[in-house]
């Protein structure tokens, strides 16, 4: 007997119903995104510009920061 279940519609619910709560969520998530962007950008810039930080540990830290930039964006 084959599986005959199917989904015919998709329901997308809002995170918050009120305008004030939506604005609060927007600014909170924007702040978190910008903090992560700034932090990873600073790590990438520091490792790339300082020649003393061209050791394997900082190479992997740079790769982790770039991966995090890609994932958060």
DSSP-derived secondary structure letter, 5: -
Sign (positive/negative) of CA torsion 14, 17, 21, 27? positive
Task: State residue 10's pLDDT score.
Answer: 82
Sign (positive/negative) of CA torsion 36, 39, 43, 49? positive
User: Measuring CA to CA, which residue among 59, 57, 65, 60 is closest to residue 40?
Assistant: 65
Examine the pLDDT at 46 and tell me if it is beyond 70.
Answer: yes
Q: What is the pTM of this model?
A: 0.72
């Amino acid at each position: 007997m084959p599986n005959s279940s199917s989904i015919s519609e998709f329901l997308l619910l809002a995170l918050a119903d009120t305008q004030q709560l939506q604005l609060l969520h927007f600014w909170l998530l924007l702040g978190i995104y910008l903090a992560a962007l700034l932090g990873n950008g600073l790590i990438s810039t520091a490792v790339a510009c300082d020649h003393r930080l061209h050791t394997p540990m900082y190479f992997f830290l740079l790769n982790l920061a770039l991966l995090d930039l890609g994932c958060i964006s």
